[in-house]
Amino acid sequence: MFKAILIDKDDSGYHARQTDLDDDRLPAGDVTVKVGWSTLNYKDGLAITGKSPVVRSFPMVPGIDLAGVVESSEHADWKPGDRVVLNGWGVGEVHWGGLAGKARLKGDWLVPLASPFTLRQAAAIGTAGYTAMLCVLALERHGVTPDKGEVLVTGAAGGVGSVAVAVLAKLGYRVVALTGRPEEADYLTRLGAADIMDRAPFAEPGKPLAKERWAGAVDVVGGQTLANICAQMKYRGTVAACGLAGGMSLPATVAPFILRGVTLAGVDSVMCPRPDRLEAWQRLGRDLDPALLDELTTEIGFDEVIPTAARILEGKVRGRVVVPVNPELG
């Protein structure tokens, strides 16, 4: 038997609970992983609370991230004892995820634990950190280098934003952190932010073209905020967009794109091809200071997962949240 968070939907409604399961309940897959560490992300918060129809198959174990050790494998790439990481691929939505003692998965979804990280550190990076790295790679591929000017990071105190600030600062960019939590200014400065800005003005309708400021941006908000950022981009600047915390709409005009050559680069982490995943993790091993992970990571007990889910949706949790499942694995 192993512990798990299980979400179900029946005649009595939608509910999540902690329970014990056995191996016979695990879904189909060619690799079984003993989960060392999982995480709690914004999407997991939506799944556990039922605030959005994230879960598309019931019952469901949430947890879009896991880091653990292969217990058994029928996949040619993996053998018992291998230390692996999984992010995305619909786990926690259509396939049982990482908030359980074990997970049975497709071997093609796994990547090897990247040096120099422990399983706990890999979980602390998780989908958020790996997405942040994909955004940095997108900026680089579109020619945004430190000498081009400032880079804006929205939702800077959240998981994606925190890692993006830390990585960009280490790479030599002048990073401006956009946040609605002024109390996190010291935290963001320690991560490497050169300046802190209030998010409120960005949420209001702005001009189709505003004064040029940003060479690049990493945006997790979407909506009016993203529209205003596009309007403020420098000539041939690039915005890497990876989130919708502020809404699905994009009330923008074509002006920034056809008059300034701005690029809006969409970043998807869920179905991202394996070569890009491996590159992102390799770069994280080089460009993210492991010592900063403790600064941006909060650890909660398994019993705290369900109540913390609501807090993460309310924007009351900063950085990354890790959950020890079998922490003795490392």
pLDDT at position 13 is 85
SS3 state of residue 256 = helix
Length of the chain: 330
Percent of all residues in the chain with a pLDDT value above 70, rounded to a whole number: 100
pLDDT at 295: 87
Residue 30 to residue 282: CA distance in whole angstroms: 25
**Check whether domain 127-266 has CATH 3.40.50.720, yes or no:** yes
Give 11-29 pLDDT, tens digit per residue: 888 999 999 999 999 999 9
Confidence of residue 152 (pLDDT cuts 50, 70, 90): very high
Please state the domain extents for the chain: 2-113+300-329, 127-266
For 267-278, write each residue's pLDDT tens digit.
999 999 999 999
pLDDT, tens digit (0-9, with 9 covering 90-100), for 163-208: 999 999 999 999 999 999 999 999 999 999 999 999 999 999 999 9
Architecture label for domain 2-113+300-329: Alpha-Beta Complex (3.90)
Q: How far is CA 162 from CA 18, 68, 243, in A?
A: 29, 24, 14
Helix 119-141 vs helix 274-287: crossing angle, to nearest 10: 100
CA dist 230 → 22, 152, 269 (Å): 50, 11, 22
What pLDDT does 27 receive?
A: 97
| 3-class secondary structure, 16 | strand
Q: What is the pLDDT at residue 135?
A: 98
Given a cut of 90, is residue 53 above it in pLDDT? Answer: no
Residue range 209-254, pLDDT digits in tens: 999 999 999 999 999 999 999 999 999 999 999 999 888 999 999 9
Residue 190 pLDDT: 96
